[in-house]
């Protein structure tokens, strides 16, 4: 098991290098060291000498990918790409344009993001699976057809609509919850109810359909017929067999998402004024703060890769047929 | 007057050519003709297809741009040369010219005759008062004793009769074609070639009637009212919503045009050649896939914004700049969304190339290109089709979110995302300004719902796993 995990982690390294390469190429195309120097020194009066000295001071005077002047391994190592990548691998994201430490910001803002994303995820998962099981119980009936039509309709509405409509109804008209904001601890619950509810509701359409199709596929298998033939009730078949065997495809879709919950949701957080990583990213995008966007891209990729590894591990726990190889 | 071809116009017409080619090849092959019949046999799918074509029609009308030379502009339409001094207009603009011209001062509700908020006014005696100013255009034809409701009801008769007439014409032409094709005038109703191929024309005509009625109703009443209200600067919301159709449809369609060759070439070669080709392609899509989608798009769009603002001399007009931004966005979306389909195609190719007939083809000495073209591609087409129709609705919805995040289309481009983004803050007003948001969401919902229903049916028919 341990050796397997280590091997999977090693596989992740080239992918992360690839991610770094893409972000590096994207951002250095527009935000060259010269631009960074000009931004840091103040736009007005910068001489080429000042830029040069700033670059030397902060180590940005190296070539991009290949250093012809160095010798041996340094030809590759003494370059901006390697230097920047190494910093990212150490989770040292540097400073944002406003002069704050990005790493510290991220650590601080991770928790509000999680406070929304985790309840949304768990409640959504449970609701979707429960509803899907219920629908499978009534498969082929009018209820099934109508519910599926409603599900398509829910899916077809833009997520922005749910947020805006939810804020207007629950906060402006009925005054049940505050319209936006955030606070730590139990006081914060009242701010979280609405975004979590909206997040769950917006996901019901697609989620219910997805789980229903998984369960229906399971229902058509031979062992279900056997189980029914030996006289098991619908409920027992559903919970004992269908749910159990449906876990595998569910795991594929679900486990990958768990680590990325830290990243938060871009629109949810900015609509509800939650100081998480999602609104952090959106602010950075609007302010064209490349440092933060770069950091978030890297972090997102790391979390996604962790999710992939977790998926594989969870397979081995749930499916005895899968061997670690 | 001369035609102006923007980049996205060219792409959209190229796509139409591809579509026509696709339809021709479907008509040629017995099997795919049957498949499409069975897709359209469902009334829901038929109605959805008609709604989709209606949207596509608007997008196409909006994709033919004309440039009036300066002399003509000043001579013919001198009065609105000032407010619309951009010379490039589309056919749709010309059709809805009255909506473009009838701009108010500020917000007005749907069917309103007066402005939405009070403003200062001086009467003849020099007295200052706060009153609701009457609109410049909306409802100004009314007498003192006709109410808006009565007027609207009376005026609805004309579009109703008109759409009835149009449907009757279409129905007759349809019948005539049926007669001409069958040449069996007397026993036409008894001698249908294949009862299996009976399409749900009832549902089709009802949908068509509703669409034509809605269109003519909106069109006719918009001559007298602002049917969906006006926005902050007094522009007609109906006009904006209709103009936004092009952006939504284009993003949904053209992205697939960008993504398809990538997914096909990479997916098939990974599955067919295996070995290091497979490794490289797998590495490529795992890497791209591991970057969170929105962030990658955001990063690429940020880069694009900087490039555009640094090289403003590249673009002749604001339209060209906005158009190029839309094109960039489409490319970025395409480049980030090919991975899913590529993975599917790779897996399916791996499976197919194990089957005996591929081995047989190989032992006959057929080259890889021939094998892929004749034996593998035809068996992948259902996957491609399903992916295309599935992606469409997601892309239309994504446009709104991206515009909200600030990495969507150019702010000057009409799009539902921009409408939502601009109208979002107005919900805080008292009373609410809801109509802009409502219209954008309603137009988007209809398109996405139709696309979703259609794609469901396509999936049921084409996906062998779901058909049984």
Residue B215 CB partners (closer than 8 Å, separation 6+): B54
Quote the pLDDT of residue B447.
95
Helices (H), chain A: 2-30, 33-41, 48-58, 74-77, 80-89, 102-137, 142-156, 159-166, 189-219, 222-229, 234-236, 243-255, 257-260, 266-272, 277-286, 290-318
All residues of chain B having their beta carbon less than 8 Å from the beta carbon of residue A14 are 283
CA B41 to chain centre: 24
Determine the Cα–Cα distance for residues B97 and B102; give it in Å rounded to an integer. Answer: 9
- Nearest CA-CA partner of B459 in B392, B349, B382: B382
Yes or no: say if A291 and A97 are a contact pair by the CB < 8 Å rule: yes
Question: B86: pLDDT confidence band, cut at 50, 70 and 90?
Answer: low
The closest CB to that of A26, out of B303, B400, B449, belongs to: B303
Quote the pLDDT of residue A45.
66
A156·B448 Cβ contact <8 A: yes
Yes or no: say if A94 and A105 are a contact pair by the CB < 8 Å rule: no
Q: pLDDT, tens digit, for every residue of B409-458?
A: 888 888 998 988 888 777 777 777 888 889 999 999 999 999 999 998 88
Q: Is A296 on the interface with B (CB under 8 A)?
A: yes
The closest CB to that of B404, out of A31, A267, A297, belongs to: A267
The closest CB to that of A156, out of B400, B428, B449, belongs to: B449
Query: Nearest CA to CA, how far is A261 from chain B (Å)?
Result: 12
Instruction: For residue B122, give the 3-state DSSP assignment.
Output: strand
- Nearest CA-CA partner of B114 in B136, B98, B146: B136
Those of residues 60-119 in A touching chain B at CB distance below 8 A are none
- Listed ranges A115-119, B32-36, B103-107, B303-307; the one with the highest mean pLDDT: A115-119
B445·A156 Cβ contact <8 A: yes
B295·A168 Cβ contact <8 A: no
A285·B405 Cβ contact <8 A: yes
Q: pLDDT, tens digit, for every residue of B268-288?
A: 999 998 889 999 999 998 898
pLDDT above 70 as % of chain B = 91
A159·B401 Cβ contact <8 A: yes
Instruction: Look up the ipTM and state it.
Output: 0.86
How far are the Cα atoms of A24, A79, A290, A293, B134 from residue A27, in angstroms, in the given order? 5, 16, 7, 10, 52
The closest CB to that of A297, out of B299, B400, B424, belongs to: B299
Please determine, for residue B57, whether its predicted confidence score (pLDDT) is greater than 50.
yes
Instruction: Tally C-beta pairs within 8 A across A and B.
Output: 122
Average of per-residue pLDDT across A113-128: 93
Q: What is the pLDDT of chain A when averaged over all its residues?
A: 84
Determine the Cα–Cα distance for residues B136 and B74; give it in Å rounded to an integer. Answer: 23
Nearest CA in chain A to B406: A286
Please determine, for residue B311, whether its predicted confidence score (pLDDT) is greater than 90.
no
Please determine, for residue B72, whether its predicted confidence score (pLDDT) is greater than 70.
no
How far are the Cα atoms of A150, A197, A257 from residue A126, in angstroms, in the given order? 19, 13, 15
B456·A152 Cβ contact <8 A: yes
B401·A263 Cβ contact <8 A: no
- What is the pTM assigned to this prediction? 0.89
All residues of chain A having their beta carbon less than 8 Å from the beta carbon of residue B397 are 158-159
Nearest CA in chain A to B288: A19
A297·B296 Cβ contact <8 A: yes
Nearest CA in chain B to A299: B291
Q: Is A26 on the interface with B (CB under 8 A)?
A: yes
The closest CB to that of B298, out of A19, A213, A293, belongs to: A293
Task: Give the residue with greater pLDDT, A227 vs A82.
Answer: A227
Residue B228 CB partners (closer than 8 Å, separation 6+): B110, B236, B237, B238, B241, B435, B438, B439
Query: Nearest CA to CA, how far is A152 from chain B (Å)?
Result: 7
Peptide bond into B431 cis (omega under 30): yes
The closest CB to that of B424, out of A159, A164, A288, belongs to: A164
Average of per-residue pLDDT across A110-118: 90
Q: Is A304 on the interface with B (CB under 8 A)?
A: yes
Residue B176 CB partners (closer than 8 Å, separation 6+): none
Yes or no: say if A294 and A23 are a contact pair by the CB < 8 Å rule: yes
Q: Is A146 on the interface with B (CB under 8 A)?
A: no
Quickly tell me which residue has 């069958």 as its tokens. B182
Quote the pLDDT of residue B85.
46
The closest CB to that of B292, out of A31, A213, A260, belongs to: A260
Cβ of B346: how many Cβ atoms within 10 Å? Answer: 23
Residue of A285, A292, A293 to mutate when probing chain B, most B C-beta within 10 A: A285
Q: pLDDT, tens digit, for every residue of B203-226?
A: 888 999 999 999 999 888 888 888
Q: pLDDT, tens digit, for every residue of A22-49?
A: 888 887 777 777 777 777 676 566 777 7
Please determine, for residue B34, whether its predicted confidence score (pLDDT) is greater than 90.
no
Please tell me what DSSP assigns to residue B42: S
Tokens of A292: 């933060």
- Nearest CA-CA partner of B169 in B200, B212, B199, B198: B212
CA B456 to chain centre: 18
Please determine, for residue B76, whether its predicted confidence score (pLDDT) is greater than 80.
no
Q: CA angle, B356 as apex, B350 and B362 as ends, to 5°? A: 80
The closest CB to that of A152, out of B284, B437, B452, belongs to: B452
Average of per-residue pLDDT across B74-85: 45
Quote the pLDDT of residue B448.
94
Burial zone of B181 (CB within 10 Å; 0-12 exposed, 13-18 middle, 19+ buried): exposed
Quote the pLDDT of residue B80.
45
All residues of chain B having their beta carbon less than 8 Å from the beta carbon of residue A312 are none
Quote the pLDDT of residue A43.
58
Determine the Cα–Cα distance for residues B77 and B93; give it in Å rounded to an integer. Answer: 14
A161·B292 Cβ contact <8 A: no
Please determine, for residue B369, whether its predicted confidence score (pLDDT) is greater than 80.
yes
Q: pLDDT, tens digit, for every residue of A175-223?
A: 888 888 888 777 788 888 899 999 999 999 999 999 998 898 888 889 8
Average of per-residue pLDDT across B29-44: 85
Please determine, for residue B374, whether its predicted confidence score (pLDDT) is greater than 70.
yes
Please determine, for residue A19, whether its predicted confidence score (pLDDT) is greater than 70.
yes
pLDDT above 90 as % of chain A = 17
Query: Nearest CA to CA, how far is B450 from chain A (Å)?
Result: 9
A26·B405 Cβ contact <8 A: no
């Amino acid at each position: 098991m341990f050796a397997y995990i280590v091997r999977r982690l090693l596989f992740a390294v080239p992918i992360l290098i690839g991610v770094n390469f893409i972000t590096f190429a994207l951002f250095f195309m527009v935000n060259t060291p010269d631009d960074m120097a000009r931004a840091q020194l103040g736009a007005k009066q910068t001489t080429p000498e000042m830029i040069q000295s700033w670059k030397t001071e902060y180590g940005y005077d190296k070539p991009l990918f290949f250093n012809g002047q160095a010798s041996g391994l340094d030809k590759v190592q003494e370059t901006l790409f390697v230097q920047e990548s190494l910093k990212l691998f150490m989770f040292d994201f540097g400073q944002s344009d406003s002069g704050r430490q990005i790493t510290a910001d991220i650590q601080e803002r991770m928790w509000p993001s999680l406070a929304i994303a985790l309840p949304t995820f768990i409640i959504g998962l449970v609701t979707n699976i429960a509803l899907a099981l219920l629908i499978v119980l009534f498969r082929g009936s009018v209820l099934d057809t109508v519910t599926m039509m409603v599900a398509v309709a829910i899916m077809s509405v833009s997520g922005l609509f749910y947020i805006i409509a939810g804020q207007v109804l629950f906060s402006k008209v009925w005054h049940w919850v505050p319209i936006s904001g955030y606070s730590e601890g139990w006081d914060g619950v009242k701010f979280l109810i609405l975004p979590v509810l909206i997040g769950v509701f917006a996901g019901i359409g697609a989620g219910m359909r997805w789980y229903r199709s998984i369960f229906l596929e399971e229902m058509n298998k031979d062992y279900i017929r056997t189980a029914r033939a030996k006289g098991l009730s619908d409920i027992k078949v559903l919970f004992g067999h269908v749910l159990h065997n449906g876990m595998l495809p569910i795991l594929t879709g679900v486990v990958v998402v768990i680590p990325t919950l830290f990243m938060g949701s871009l629109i949810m957080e900015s609509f509800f004024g939650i100081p998480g990583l999602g609104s952090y990213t959106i602010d950075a995008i609007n302010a064209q703060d490349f440092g933060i966007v770069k950091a978030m891209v890297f972090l997102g990729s790391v979390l996604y890769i962790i999710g992939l590894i977790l998926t594989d591990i969870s397979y081995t726990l749930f499916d005895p047929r899968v061997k670690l190889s | 007057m001369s035609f102006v071809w923007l980049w996205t116009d060219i792409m959209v017409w190229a796509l139409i050519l591809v579509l026509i080619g696709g339809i021709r090849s479907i008509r040629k092959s017995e099997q795919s003709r049957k498949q499409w019949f069975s897709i359209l046999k469902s009334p829901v799918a038929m109605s959805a297809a008609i709604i989709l074509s209606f949207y596509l029609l608007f997008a196409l009308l909006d994709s033919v741009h004309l440039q009036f030379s300066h002399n003509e502009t000043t001579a013919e339409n001198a009065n609105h040369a000032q407010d619309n001094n951009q010379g490039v207009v589309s056919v749709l603009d010309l059709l809805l010219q009255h909506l473009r011209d009838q701009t108010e001062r500020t917000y007005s509700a749907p069917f309103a005759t007066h402005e939405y908020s009070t403003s200062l006014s001086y009467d003849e005696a020099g007295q200052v008062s706060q009153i609701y100013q009457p609109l410049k255009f909306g409802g100004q034809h009314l007498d003192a004793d006709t109410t808006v409701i009565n007027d609207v009801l009376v005026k609805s008769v004309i579009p109703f009769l008109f759409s009835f007439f149009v449907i009757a014409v279409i129905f007759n032409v349809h019948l005539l074609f049926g007669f001409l094709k069958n040449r069996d005038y007397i026993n036409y109703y008894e001698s249908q070639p294949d009862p299996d191929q009976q399409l749900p024309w009832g549902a089709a005509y009802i949908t068509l009637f509703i669409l034509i009625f809605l269109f003519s109703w909106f069109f006719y009443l918009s001559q007298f009212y602002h049917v969906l209200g006006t926005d902050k600067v007094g522009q007609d919301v109906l006009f904006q919503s209709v103009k936004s159709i092009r952006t939504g449809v284009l993003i949904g369609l053209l992205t697939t045009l960008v993504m398809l060759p990538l997914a096909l070439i990479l997916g098939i070669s990974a599955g067919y050649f295996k070995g290091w080709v497979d490794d490289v392609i797998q590495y490529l899509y795992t890497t791209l896939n591991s970057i969170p989608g929105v962030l990658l798009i955001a990063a690429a769009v940020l880069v694009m914004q900087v490039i555009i603002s640094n090289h403003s001399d590249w673009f002749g007009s604001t339209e060209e700049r906005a158009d190029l931004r839309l094109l960039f966005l489409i490319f970025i979306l395409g480049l980030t969304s090919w991975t899913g389909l590529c993975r599917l195609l790779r897996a399916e190719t791996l499976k197919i190339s194990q089957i005996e007939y591929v081995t047989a083809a190989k032992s006959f000495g057929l080259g890889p290109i021939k094998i892929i073209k004749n034996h593998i591609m035809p068996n992948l087409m259902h996957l491609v089709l399903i992916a295309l129709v599935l992606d469409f609705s997601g892309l239309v919805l994504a446009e709104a979110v991206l515009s909200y995040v600030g990495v969507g289309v150019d702010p000057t481009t009409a799009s539902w995302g921009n409408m939502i983004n601009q109208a979002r803050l107005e919900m805080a007003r008292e009373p609410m300004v809801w109509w802009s948001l409502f219209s954008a969401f309603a137009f988007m919902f209809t398109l996405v719902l139709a696309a979703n229903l259609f794609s469901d049916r396509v999936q049921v028919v084409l996906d062998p796993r779901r058909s049984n």
